[in-house]
Structure 1
Amino acid sequence: MLKYTALITGGALSASFTSVFLSGCSKPETDTSELHFFGEDAFERVSLMADTILPRTDSPSATDVNVHHTIDTMIGLVFDMDFKTSFREQWEELELFLDDRNFLNLSQSERVELVRSIELNNGVCTSSAKRAYTELKQQTIAYYLTTEEIGKNYLNYLPIPGDYRPTITIDEVNNRAWTI
């Protein structure tokens, strides 16, 4: 899963994310309206960014499975203070970039193009803003893939594994990745 996340985001996972992800944290509650790290305006941007990264298709969007709440909870309650301080500075740069481009009022296709410009890093934003985006993208993908909804209903899921077969064809697993 970590390898696929790194491949999807085009880089290595940050050390802070990896340490928290591998620590076996319990699943945070996602039904609370209390925010732990982001303010309401910033949380709206996080929600839109998450849905731009993973929009609703034949599977739920990132916010449909509460990834935005998980990100807020993990950063606010689990990550260490050094990470929080660094991420807050980077996030402020990303917010300025998004606000300058009226991100909240863009259509989905316009948001995708804006995110693509950050991805390609054609000098459109600062390196701090790009780091904040990369961290947000990594968390969005990782938390999405580890939700119960996605794991059980959209990936191959075997609560009690059967025989180990080291070589199988992709057709034998319905062209789906395995849940961890």
Structure 2
Amino acid sequence: MHRRTAIKNLALIIGGAALLPSCMQEKGKASVALKNIIIDADQEKLIGDMAETIIPKTDTPGAKDLQLHLFVLKMVDDCCTKKDQQDFMTGMGQFTDLVKKQNNRSFAECDQKQREQILLAIDKDRKDPKSTTYPPELKTFYNLVKGQTVNGYTTSKYFMTKQVVYELVPGRYNAFYPVKKQAV
């Protein structure tokens, strides 16, 4: 009888030890594992808010619903050069400082209209190569976030199955397709 109790207690201890690391996650750490850039939870939220401003939720899912901010972070971490990754991190700091300077609050605390105005101003400046209103690192940060957000949305399962009906090559066989006779 004591053997069964010991085995049951041992199973509970092993199960608890297996779950313990997931319960001990550091607060403030990003939810996606990255190798080359170090992001905290606030920075991840900033990118999520930017992505949601770029592709807001309407009758279709928004960027946060599709977790595009995680896609952006993973793509920057895996596919960008070291210089672009450094510019991304520097630009993120500059973006945070710019928003605080203009609105006296963080990007997350701004309403939708203010967020759109900030991003549209950067986008307008980004398109003018002679403009020096914003630093190049900030423009690189914005370009990466916007480009990867749009890329992630247009390649997402939702978009490819619900918005654009994707058909595998070679497509359907239509036995009744009209054929014109050619003169010989």
Does the TM-score normalized on the shorter chain lie above 0.5?
yes
Distance 1:86 1:124, change over 3 A: closer
Residue in structure 1 matching 2:139, options 126, 130, 152? 130
Aligned length: 133
Which string of whole-angstrom CA distances, capped at 9 and with x for unpartnered residues, describes residues 94-117 of structure 1? Answer: 222123332221111221122112
Distance 1:83 1:125, change over 3 A: closer
1:140 aligns with 2:140: no
What corresponds to 2:31 in structure 1? 33
What corresponds to 1:172 in structure 2? none
What corresponds to 1:94 in structure 2? 95
What corresponds to 1:82 in structure 2? 83
**What amino acid is aligned across from residue 155 of structure 1 in structure 2?**
V
Residue in structure 2 matching 1:116, options 117, 120, 123? 120
**What amino acid is aligned across from residue 136 of structure 1 in structure 2?**
V
**What amino acid is aligned across from residue 60 of structure 1 in structure 2?**
P
What corresponds to 1:174 in structure 2? none
**Seq. identity, %:** 22
What corresponds to 2:159 in structure 1? 150
**What amino acid is aligned across from residue 93 of structure 2 in structure 1?**
E
Q: Normalising by the residue count of structure 1, what TM-score does the alignment of the two structures yield?
A: 0.64
- The Cα shift of 1:61 comes to 0.5
Q: Normalising by the residue count of structure 2, what TM-score does the alignment of the two structures yield?
A: 0.63
Unaligned runs of 5+ in 2: 1-29, 126-130, 173-184
SS of the residue corresponding to residue 105 of structure 1 reads coil
Q: Which has the higher contact order (CA 8 A, sep 6+)?
A: 1
For the residues of structure 1 that align with 2:135 and 2:31, how far apart are their CA atoms? 32
Stretches of 4+ aligned residues off by more than 4 angstroms:
none
1:162 aligns with 2:166: no
**What amino acid is aligned across from residue 125 of structure 1 in structure 2?**
Y
Distance 1:115 1:77, change over 3 A: same
